[in-house]
Amino acid sequence: MPTYYIHIKGIVQGVGFRPTIYRLADKYQLKGTVSNTTDGVQIYFNATAKKSSLFFNDIKSHPPSRAVVTSIEIQETEKREYEGFQIIDSHGGKDRSVLLTPDFAICDECRSEMYDSNNKRYHYPFITCTLCGPRYSIINALPYDRPLTTMDTFNMCPDCQYEYDDIEDRRYFSQTNTCPECSIKLSVSGQSGNVIPISSVIQAWKQDLIVAIKGIGGYLLTCDATSEHAINKLRQKKNRPSKPLAVMYPDAAMLKKDLEISSEAISELTNHVSPIVLTRSKKTPGTGMVKAAIAPGLNQIGVMVPYAPLMDLLLHHFKKPIIATSGNLSGDPIEFRNDRAMDNLSEIADLFLHNNRGIVVPQDDSLIAFSPRHHRKIILRRSRG
């Protein structure tokens, strides 16, 4: 039987491409291999001419939802007989044409698992799957595979390994897979004794304290967005007297209490990029969000909903909006290393919430707005996504 080669370029790594190809190969009962290279996804397989084009067209029309395919080509190649279909080890390619995959906001399925008390990842702040979680910020080198990311220090427990190996599982081949058993760990500094990380952050916010939280792209400085006292303290300590601050809401429903927001903006806010969206505030915000202290003299406020499960969980418990601004000293880049954050932000933050997943590439949040008349999207700052 002839052998074919398919080469796919674009944002194709860390989006579940290999599992998708594996399932499609299974559907057409093809034998061959799929691998990630720095030059994209490469597939070799045996098929009749007819089947090869069916398979090719199926990939073209049903790529994984987070993938961005910039080119896909098929050609017949040197004959080789394969046994079964296999995902083979990634290897470097001759070119470096693959596009870096952005970090993805928590997906709906992971969010519902996180709040399901019967799920093993109930309240686990680092839940991910092949559709969501960090990518760009944790990649040391390409191709995207766990040993080349900061996930390399975490070993999967047998349960997670089972999911990783199970083609039917939505965590099949998920490089960021962990669970409470083999978990990424939270730690708190700035408080002594036996602390429960999530509760100590909630308590600190309630006491108008400033908390530095290590998120996906770096540290965020946070405080209660309904407390003028806390906001002014943050402004003073960060030496940011009047520039607007971004506000993070537990969810879109609460956000609507404070802001005039279009349905376009809501779907943008809650998609897998989860940017900050600039939008008009209501005259009297329903949550008590202190508009005048957050964006002095401005009508518009930059708002977002949590993209990291950790922030989702914290806000779910706090039930109020928070200020979430980059954790840096005025003029410096965002802090992303635990030790340096402690050194540089200790004058500002009363409490630190760290975790032991490393960040390679720090990132600020993306910022977008909508044109007032046509609701057209305007990208003001692109980072995640």
What character string, x for contact with Zn ion (CB under 5 A) and - otherwise, covers 153-172? ----x--x------------
Choice from 76, 95, 181, 332 touching Zn ion (CB under 5 A): 181
Show the CA angle centred on residue 316, arms to residues 315 and 317, nearest 5°. 85
Among 11, 30, 110, 324, binds Zn ion (CB under 5 A): 110
Give me 312's structure tokens.
Answer: 């989702």
Rank residues 119 and 191 by Cβ distance to Zn ion and give the closer one: 119
Of 148 and 182, the one with the shorter C-beta distance to Zn ion is: 182
Q: Report the residue number, 224 or 312, with the smaller CB distance to Zn ion.
A: 312
Number of residues written out for the chain: 385
Scanning 76-84, 175-183, 311-319, 377-385 for contacts with Zn ion by CB under 5 A, the matching segment is 175-183
Q: How far is the CB of 200 from Zn ion (least distance, A)?
A: 25
| Burial class of residue 312 (count of CB atoms within 10 Å of its CB; 0-12, 13-18, 19+) | buried
Cα–Cα distance for residue pair 53/41, rounded to 1 Å:
17
Q: How far is the CB of 355 from Zn ion (least distance, A)?
A: 16
- Tell me if 182 contacts Zn ion by CB under 5 A: yes
- Return the number of the residue (176 or 338) whose C-beta is nearest Zn ion: 176
Return the range that interacts with Zn ion (CB under 5 A); candidates 91-99, 107-115, 186-194, 366-374: 107-115
Query: How many residues of this chain interact with Zn ion, rule: CB under 5 A?
Result: 10
Using the rule CB under 5 A, give the single segment among 10-18, 100-108, 213-221, 359-367 that binds Zn ion. Answer: 100-108
CB 104 within 8 A of CB 128: no
Of the residues 98, 107, 254, 276, which one makes contact with Zn ion according to CB under 5 A = 107
Instruction: Name beta bridge partners: 351.
Output: 211
Of the pair 180, 288, the CB lying nearest Zn ion is at 180
Query: What mask, x for binding Zn ion by CB under 5 A, covers residues 127 to 146?
Result: --x-xx--------------
Amino acid present at 50: K
Shortest CB 179 distance to Zn ion, Å: 3
> Dihedral sign, CA of 149, 154, 158, 163?
negative
CB 105, min distance to Zn ion, A: 9
Task: Establish if 216 lies at the interface with Zn ion (CB under 5 A).
Answer: no
Closest to Zn ion by CB, 110 vs 210, is: 110
Question: Using CB under 5 A, which of the segments 109-117, 147-155, 196-204, 328-336 binds Zn ion?
Answer: 109-117
Q: Are 289 and 226 in contact (CB under 8 A)?
A: yes
Least distance between Zn ion and beta carbon 218 (Å): 21
Q: How deeply is 279 buried, as exposed, middle or buried, from its count of CB atoms within 10 A (0-12, 13-18, 19+)?
A: buried
Residue placing its CB nearer to Zn ion in the complex, 30 or 107: 107
**Which span sits near Zn ion by CB under 5 A: 20-28, 125-133, 230-238, 244-252?**
125-133
Q: What is the binding site for Zn ion (CB under 5 A)? A: 107, 110, 129, 131-132, 157, 160, 179, 181-182
